[in-house]
Amino acid sequence: MTKIHSGVLFASILVGCSSDAPPGASVGVDKTLPDSPLAQLQDVSLIRAGDSFTLAGYDSVSGLVHWARLALDGTLTQETSFAFAPQPVVGPVFAATKKTNPGDQLVALAFVNSATVSGGYDLVATVHTLGAAAPAAPIVLAPPLPAGTDPSTVQLAAGAAASGNFGYVAWGIRVTGINISYLLLPADAITTAAPSKFFDDAQVPQWDCLAPQGRSTGFSFGAITPNPSFATSDFQTVEVDESGLPTIMTYQLQVEVVNCQIVGSPTPAGNYFMAFQGTENGAIAIDFATYYPPVDPLTQVGTVTTQHPVMSSALFGGPLSMPRAAWASSAGGDVVIGLERKSGPEVVRYTYNAIRHGSTLKLRSVNGHAGPLAAWVGDDAVYATYTDQVKSGSITATKRYFMRIDSPASLP
């Protein structure tokens, strides 16, 4: 039985459909990208920047960054590459910004051995403009991390405003009392601004799982902090609009998030949906939570409702076989969750109170060897890309797919 955690009662009961009902989503675009070094990379970033995406990845063997622009219909253009130097210690991660047109610059960001502090690390940005023969010289964005910093405690995230006009980078050392910092990145990543801080410096909690989060305007990133009063997790995000104005949000979950597995995105109605691996009393599951803002912000607070267990680990053969929740999006009052699975990604849909609504949509994989999934959640659809290992006799080829997943507001 699903256990519902909620602080406030809220409205609108929806009727669930049986498992033989129509799928809760459909594929609007399904394209195999042209074979290329970029398409063959397992891990890529899919960054909405203007009217297209930036697709970028790093080949650690060759030391090359590969990137291109990717239209909403899956047309890949202007693919290029450059050498990333010096050798990254943490990263690289990727942002996009505007030189002449939205998204026409890629910013590759990494911590490297510091040029000024022995044993420290510099945060460097390497900017490449479409059409340029080579990237600009690396720029040091912030004071170096101190000597003796353990690189395994350093976390780094990046992305772009959906407009493609500016990017961002966020970083921190996962040590008690050390804050998460972030910078907005204009053209050429040349900024005179001091880094902003995520938490109040006087009350920096233990944090983990720094990562970009979904937002169809501006940008967002988040982290997980423990709630010691209840042995649960808080999901904390900063949402920055196109003017650069930040809004800090805290979503108090009623389970503990595990394995740093959490994704979130706002809905067109102003709500916020989250999907994650959650555990309570030893029971681990793929769960979701919904946030509904108050009717009157001056006298009321918003409501976060956690559903657990939604998809128990037993459904996947145990905790070690659980998939990653790759996105959470809205469809009317429903919650749509994309699951990254080796057999092929799956899309499931639930009513707000965790009743299955429609059957599972399974995305294609020829031989059941799909790779990591990158997704971007928009107001109208979810865009996703992943690799597939296609075997033919003794030959295995890597294919990369790009898809648009549509979820109607209501199902039959």
Output the pLDDT for position 393.
Answer: 87
Output the pLDDT for position 371.
Answer: 97
Segment 288-313 mean pLDDT: 92
Q: What is the DSSP secondary structure assignment for residue 23, as one 8-state letter?
A: B
Answer yes or no: is pLDDT of 224 > 50. yes
Answer yes or no: is pLDDT of 9 > 80. no
SS3 state of residue 42: coil
Per the prediction, the chain carries an average pLDDT of 93
Output the pLDDT for position 4.
Answer: 55
Contact status, residue 57 vs residue 65, Cβ threshold 8 Å: yes
Output the pLDDT for position 5.
Answer: 53
With pLDDT > 70 as the criterion, what percentage of the chain qualifies? Answer: 95
Split at pLDDT 50, 70, 90, the class of 299 is confident
Output the pLDDT for position 296.
Answer: 83
| Residue 7 or residue 59, greater confidence | 59
Say how far apart CA 291 and CA 285 lie, in whole Å.
19
Answer yes or no: is pLDDT of 272 > 70. yes
Split at pLDDT 50, 70, 90, the class of 145 is very high
Question: What confidence tens digit (pLDDT) does each residue in 370-391 have?
Answer: 999 999 999 989 999 999 999 9
Output the pLDDT for position 99.
Answer: 97
Output the pLDDT for position 19.
Answer: 53
Per-residue tokens: 334:
């429903």
Question: What confidence tens digit (pLDDT) does each residue in 94-107 have?
Answer: 999 999 999 999 99
Question: What confidence tens digit (pLDDT) does each residue in 44-79 have?
Answer: 999 999 999 999 999 999 999 999 999 999 999 999
Q: Model-level pTM?
A: 0.93
Question: What confidence tens digit (pLDDT) does each residue in 194-204 have?
Answer: 999 999 999 99
Lowest-confidence segment of 4-18, 253-267, 366-380 by average pLDDT: 4-18
Segment 165-184 mean pLDDT: 96
Lowest-confidence segment of 67-71, 170-174, 231-235, 392-396 by average pLDDT: 392-396
Segment 141-164 mean pLDDT: 97
Per-residue tokens: 185:
């990145």
Concatenating the DSSP letter of every residue in 95-160 gives EEE-SSSTT-EEEEEEEEE-SSSTT-EEEEEEEEETT-SSPPPPEE-SPPBPTT--GGGEEEEEEE
Say how far apart CA 69 and CA 49 lie, in whole Å.
9
Answer yes or no: is pLDDT of 285 > 70. yes
Contact status, residue 337 vs residue 287, Cβ threshold 8 Å: no
Segment 186-191 mean pLDDT: 96
Q: Work out whether strand 3-6 and strand 303-312 pair parallel, antiparallel, or are unpaired.
A: antiparallel
Split at pLDDT 50, 70, 90, the class of 17 is very low
